[in-house]
Amino acid sequence: MENLHSLVSQNAIIISSIILIVAYIFIAWEKISKVTIALLGGSLTLFLGLLATEKTNDNLAQYFISFVDFNVIFLLVSMMIVVHIAAQSGMFTWVANEILKQTKGKPKLVLAALAVFTAVASAFLDNVTTVILIMPITFAACKLLEINPIPFLITEVFCSNIGGTATLIGDPPNIIIGSAAGFSFMDFVRELTLPVCAIMLVVVALLVFIYRNDLKSSPEKMELVSKLDNSNTITDKALAIRAGIVLLLVVLGFVTHDATHIPTFLVAMIGAAVLLIFEKPEKILVEVEWNTIFFFIGLFIIIGGFEHAGGIELMANKLLEVTAGDQSITSMVILWASGILSGIIDNIPYTATMAPMIATIEATKGVDFVTPLWWSLALGACLGGNMTMIGAAANVIVTENANKAGYKISFMYFLKYGIIVTMISLLISTAYVYLRYLHN
């Protein structure tokens, strides 16, 4: 083992690079569960001694736990608990149905209303939860209107990824960026709400135009939607009130972070703990997406090995070398590379690799230089998920459920619209980043 560890230490950057690249390939291949790949890669990183498995005063900088970002882990777990408990009451479905009734059953308004609901919900819930909530409502509305649900499902997928871009908790890449850069919930709202709203308006208007011939129904069918019975949607009023109050207080805690300085993950954890007082924890904790949590943990270890070996610093130096240290060029390279690559590979490992690289650049170039880089990464990584069917978890879930219901959405069909939406999103983001941060 001593000979092995000696060999590894001499070639640490090469070996850690191979582990990271192979993990990326297998995650993109999707034949083996990505959590399995992450844990295998993390185990190999520790076995080879790229990171220390025991904590001593001499190896704190190399201790593997130091590379696992527990701000991210606790925020994810806590929000999963809060959202799952709240969803059990039927409160989100009730809100969606009420919005649906206001459209008077007009198909174009129904599509726009569901798109906005999906985007707003995705800003505060995770994208997967949002699309799982909205799909049954979409199928029911389209059945009443006797129209094809595919235009609605495609729009909802795109809007879930666009809406999730606007806040710290809307998409996992933002949680990683927020933790690495020290950005608060309100930082994301202040910096990203404007471009996200602009992208939403353009994308929804475009999709309404593209699908205009499919968005037609009879007056009788439209009346059925306008008179939806929503009286029994909330199955537990006490739970709905309790969960609604806690959810509002959690969001308030996020919003007031700049004043209170209470960490975002702690606000979410307190909210989850309060709701669990009234629940059976063993039933709720089963619903936590532990696959996602352990995927993050394994990934942090793999990237930690790469970072400790000097790989992140090498990447940062190469990027600055290629862009000649120009802030505008560096920002645009990160924005477009993030947007395109996130449509091909999982945006979580991509962001988890890029975040420490930008932090390394910050150490040499300063906070002012990297500010547009952080927001370019957030916009590219989140919006790029719309390009392909496998670009985000929400895409996979919606297309699979549509196929099960007899509405085939092929990879190429999704790609046809995904490329258009992603290019529009990146062009608007380019204009925003340039005018907001780079234009003097």
At 229-241, the pLDDT tens digits run 888 889 999 999 9
Domain region containing 167: 2-67+91-233+289-438
- With 70 as the cut, is the pLDDT of residue 60 above it? no
This prediction's pTM: 0.86
DSSP, residue by residue, 182-193? T--HHHHHHHHH
242, part of any domain: no
Residue with structure tokens 């606790």? Answer: 74
Residue 437 is given by DSSP the state I
- pLDDT at site 2: 66
The residue type found at 214 is: D
79, part of any domain: no
Q: What CA–CA distance (Å, rounded) separates 241 from 8?
A: 56
Q: Nearest-CA neighbor of 393 among 116, 35, 131?
A: 131
Residue with structure tokens 């970002």? Answer: 69
Q: What average pLDDT does the structure give for the chain?
A: 90
- Residue 120: count of CB within 10 angstroms of its CB: 18
- pLDDT at site 326: 93
276, part of any domain: no
Residue with structure tokens 């532990």? Answer: 290
Q: What CA–CA distance (Å, rounded) separates 282 from 228?
A: 36
Number of domains the chain is built from? 1
pLDDT tens, position by position, 7-44: 777 888 999 999 999 988 888 777 888 889 999 999 99
Residue with structure tokens 């736990």? Answer: 65
Q: Nearest-CA neighbor of 336 among 413, 418, 433?
A: 433
193, part of any domain: yes
432, part of any domain: yes
- Residue 374: count of CB within 10 angstroms of its CB: 26
What average pLDDT does the segment 284-298 reach? 89
278, part of any domain: no
- pLDDT at site 1: 61
- pLDDT at site 239: 95
- Give me 211's structure tokens: 């699908």
CB 161, CB 120: distance < 8 Å: no
- Give me 296's structure tokens: 């993050």
198, part of any domain: yes
From the number of C-beta atoms within 10 Å of its C-beta (0-12, 13-18, 19+), residue 218 rates as exposed
What average pLDDT does the segment 391-395 reach? 82
- With 80 as the cut, is the pLDDT of residue 59 above it? no
Sign of CA dihedral 301, 306, 307, 308: positive
Range of 130-134, 172-176, 400-404 with top mean pLDDT = 172-176
- Give me 87's structure tokens: 């969803």
244, part of any domain: no
More confident residue, 178 or 348: 178
pLDDT tens, position by position, 234-271: 999 999 999 999 999 999 999 898 888 899 899 999 99
Q: How far is CA 431 from CA 196, 278, 332, 342, in A?
A: 12, 48, 10, 20
Residue 56 is given by DSSP the state -
Q: pLDDT grade, residue 199 (50/70/90)? A: very high
CB 175, CB 188: distance < 8 Å: no
